Structure 1
Amino acid sequence: MNQRPSDLRATLVARHPFEQCFTDLGNHSADAALTALTHAIHAAQRDMNAYDWITQALPGATLKPALAIGTVGELYRSYTRPAEFGRLKEVWRA
């Protein structure tokens, strides 16, 4: 029993912040979903219904209901605004 206590602790895997927008990502990664969303924004699909977009871009993924009834632009803003605020708070602390 020469194991240190730190060896016995479970490690927590940090979740991607974009995962908070989804009920289920299906078999897609959060990075792949964010890449698809960024591509949709650059392809001028901001006004497309988020549910319609997610079924085409990431089959099997499920958005949270409040985000599914919005647009792709609203989904993008719901991710980027908290992320920008978090970065801003880190700058204030420095």
Structure 2
Amino acid sequence: MTTATPALRATTAARHPLEHLFVDFGEHSADKALIALTDAVRAGQRDMNAYDWITRVLPGATLKPALAFGTVGELYRSYTRPAEFGRLKSVWRA
């Protein structure tokens, strides 16, 4: 009588969708960064430089270089577009 053991798999922790925009969050969490980003968009700061915004709101956090030169609105769109595309793909499959 042999006992089959399940194959071991490496599991990866689910990443926050905002993580692909940042190099480092510093001392902050991805959830805190998302809250700050949505607050900035609601407050009408879409045209503010993303680098200036991130150094004021989340000191120590580092954006990816291509996003640091953009605006807060572009940063927000970079976060929301993949989610919108995922929802669209799920509708296509249905």
TM over 0.5: yes
Query: In the superposition, relative to structure 1, how do residues 3 and 29 fare at CA in structure 2: closer, same or farther (>3 Å)?
Result: farther
Question: Who is 1:4 aligned against?
Answer: 5
- Residue in structure 2 matched with residue 72 of structure 1 by the alignment: 72
Against the structure 1 CA distance between its residues 3 and 60, is the aligned structure 2 distance closer, same or farther, given a 3 Å change threshold? farther
3-state SS, counterpart of residue 5 of structure 1: coil
Q: Which protein is richer in helix relative to its size?
A: 1
Listed one character per residue, the Cα deviations across residues 19-70 of structure 1 (whole Å, up to 9, x for unaligned) are 0000111122212111110000001111111001001111111000000001
- Residue 42 (structure 1) aligned with residue 21 (structure 2): no
Counting aligned pairs with the same residue, the percent is: 76
Give the superposed CA RMSD. Answer: 1.6
Distance across 1 between alignment mates of 2:27 and 2:4 = 36
- Count of residues paired in the alignment: 92
Bigger CA radius of gyration: 2
- The TM-score with structure 1 as length reference comes to 0.88
Q: Structure 2 regions of 5+ residues with no counterpart?
A: none
The gaps in structure 1 that reach 5 residues or longer are none
Give 1:1-94 correspondences, 5 Å limit: 4-6=5-7, 8-94=8-94
Q: TM-score, normalised by structure 2?
A: 0.88
Moved over 4 A (4+): none
State the 1:3 CA deviation: 8.6
